[in-house]
Amino acid sequence: MSCQIYYKNKKLTISVDGMFTNKLWQKINEFQVDWSEITECEVDFSKTIFVDSGGLGCLILLKEKLGYDVNVSITNTNRDVHKIITTTNLDSIFTVV
């Protein structure tokens, strides 16, 4: 379980490898960037095998930290992760691609 975080042209990209749990929040939260400058965020799940309830909480914390006016896209979900996102209705506050 790990994540890589990139910032370029006012876009934050978080790529999650393995399981997305609450243990990744500290790394995301402490990423050195002016959070008010971010206009777009992508959470790439192409290498994610599972999201637990703590990971869902991290997504909500991320949305709160960025502000509800910033579009957060969840991309490249596998079938199981996509089902978790849609079953919990997080697709109503995140763009799921």
Q: Cβ neighbours of residue 37 under 8 Å, at least 6 residues apart?
A: 10
Average pLDDT, the chain: 95
**What would the pLDDT profile of 2-15 be if each residue is shown by its tens digit?**
899 999 999 999 99
**What would the pLDDT profile of 71-80 be if each residue is shown by its tens digit?**
999 999 999 9
57 phi and psi, to 5 degrees?
-60, -40
- Residue 3 half-sphere exposure toward CB, CA atoms < 13 A: 28
Show the domains of the chain with their CATH numbers: 2-96 (3.30.750.24)
DSSP annotation of 67:
-
* pTM greater than 0.85: yes
pLDDT higher than threshold 90 for residue 1: no
